Chain A
Amino acid sequence: MSNFPFSFSVSKIRFKRLTHVEQRNLRLGLLFVSPWLIGFLLWTLVPIASSLYFSFTRYTVLQPPTFIGLRNYINLASDEQYLLVVKNTLWWVILAAPGGVLSAYLIANLLNTKIVFRPLFRALFFFPSIVPAIVTTTVWLFLLNLQWGAFNSVLKALGMQTIPFISNPDWVKPTIIGIHIWAQGGAMVIFLAALQDVPRELYEAATVDGASGWSKFWHVTIPMTSPVILFNLVLAFIAAFQQFDLPWLLTQGGPNKATEFYAVYLYRTAFLDLRMGKAAAMAWILFVVILIFTFILFRTSRRWVYYGGGDQ
């Protein structure tokens, strides 16, 4: 609420004519935000409307779109390839988003204990998240290479069997989750900042009451940081639904379509198969699913997110 200190004045203005100063401010305000307003129109409103229209058409870019009603949506419902992609994506989203948030939270808690060189450790955990995906995937492909990667070379030298981290459809899924979790330093930094904001008195009071380390974690740390957990969780889910770089650059959706996630298939449909209408329909389904998912998260969050002082 404190973000919107002037919200009351908006309703007041409706009932009376604008004063001279208010008119001046309105013109000035609109002038300042005009780049965004124009951009919003050009790069958001118009594209969203046309994307909805395209989703009801057959469109190859080479020829003008032809209206086919709900055909794209109906076809998708029985498109085996698409249904596999949906299954892959749900699997990915449900493991990668909470998995990444959980590991970031645990590492942040580890770094929030009394340790020396905290900034150094924090920097080392954070670093993988700012390196371009093209570099990280290239390095991981080499590291996990079946023949000459570091891991399999060690296994070979020990006389053990090599592991097809990338080339086997069953192995590639845990592999890609692992690489994803490795690059969640941003969430970790946000968590660490939130953990350091938890008032020390709460822990001292809990200690006086004889609380153990675990119960302090459950009854102080988690509730006090729950708004940030929700924030990171929402961001992680939205990002996971749209994940492109990692599966595309690591495996191009393979092997055997094991990592063919939504954004990868959408890119393929739109720009390699040039089926823009179908891809637009896919994008709209994704949009609605993300909205529903976010809505559900916020609804359930009322039960587990604690806002200090009752300020929502």
Chain B
Amino acid sequence: MDKQISVYTEESGQLRARVVRHAAIGVIKYGLIITLTVSFIFPFFWMASSAMKDDAQVYTAPPVWIPNPAHPENFIGAWSLLDFNRFTVNTVFKYAIPAVIGTLLSSVVVAYGFSRINWPGRNILFAICLATLMIPSQVRLIPLFVIFKELGWVGTYLPLVVPTFFGNAFFIFLLRQFFLTIPTELSDAARVDGANEFVIMWRIVLPLAKPALTVVALFTLLNTWNDYFGPLIYVNQEAQYTLALGINRLRGALTEVGSQELGFPYLMAVSTIVTLPIMIAFFFAQKTFIEGVSLTGLKG
């Protein structure tokens, strides 16, 4: 390469060297990015492909990357091993949706009080609200369990859902930051016209805060769908299980390699089904996900 360049005049040689260098950096950069993304996504590919294998395609080396013939009937077989329909209903209707409603209602009202009304002592209380984020959940865990046990709530979804109606410090913070960016002129004008504070919140501020509300709803939905620890502590009967607890139960049943027919494919099939809604939500609401995450980071 050096020899070749020396043939050219000095200037064009330099130019050529720069072009070569540029191309080399490009190749390395894209090579690196593509290698990394492929390895990041590979586990999900493996999950989906293994979900459609039979035992012969699992217990073999080298591994089968794409099963042929594929066995999509595994999805049905795996789903009916345990009562996964019921686990889905539990997760969505007993946990996720009530939690989204509770979190939205309470966090919106509280964040409004911390941002759109000017009252003495507001900032001290808000500082305390933020400070609670520093407390590790383990410190509250045991007394809360005792309280909920005394109330007879253990074994139900109440310990997971009721506290969401009292505001989530993190989402209060997120919504407050957003509410502060909405100009006060509109609400001032409405106030002069005699509108009360709830009407102003409902009619003027909330319609302008839709992006932030979507972020809160989406992340609450995600957190409840993914939550393992909460249901582990409070939900103890299989009929009440969430999907996460259900998968864990299935894993326990199929854990011994080869002891159960189609153990691995069934586990991968259920995992795929539970991941699918997240994948679909992410596909359609990617902007909300990404903006939500960057919002929390940059305003911190």
A interface residues, Cβ below 8 angstroms from B: 3-4, 6-7, 9-10, 13, 18, 22, 25-26, 28-33, 35-40, 42-44, 46-48, 50-51, 54, 61, 107, 110-111, 113, 115, 119, 121-128, 130-136, 138-140, 142-143, 145, 147-148, 150, 152-154, 156-157, 182, 186, 189-194, 197, 228, 231-232, 238, 241-242, 244-245, 249, 263, 266, 270-271, 276, 279-280, 282-284, 286-287, 290-291, 294
Contact = CB atoms under 8 A, between A and B. Distances in A.
A50 B136 CA distance: 15
Given A3-B180, A282-B138, 19 more contacts: A25-B119, A31-B113, A32-B113, A32-B117, A40-B128, A48-B143, A54-B143, A110-B36, A124-B40, A126-B289, A127-B279, A132-B243, A134-B228, A138-B268, A139-B47, A190-B297, A194-B298, A242-B137, A242-B138
A51 B123 contact: no
A251 B292 CA distance: 32
A130 B58 contact: no
Contacts of B137: 242
Contacts of B298: 190, 193-194, 197, 228
Nearest to A14: B120
Contact of A153 (B63, B135, B145, B177): B63
Interface stretch (B11-19, B93-101, B163-171): B163-171
A36 B121 CA distance: 15
B85 interface: no
Nearest to B226: A132
A46 B172 CA distance: 21
Contacts of B140: 43-44, 47-48, 51
B33 A121 contact: yes
Interface size class of B (residues with CB under 8 A): 35 or more
Q: Which of B37, B110, B132, B197 has the most CB of A within 10 A?
A: B37
Interface stretch (B1-9, B74-82, B207-215, B244-252): B244-252
A124 B41 contact: yes
B29 to A, nearest CB: 6
A249 B293 CA distance: 25
Given A61-B146, A130-B278, A135-B247, A33 B37 contact: no
Nearest to B48: A139
A51 B63 contact: no
B260 interface: no
A125 B109 CA distance: 35
B24 interface: no
Contact of B264 (A33, A42, A148): A148
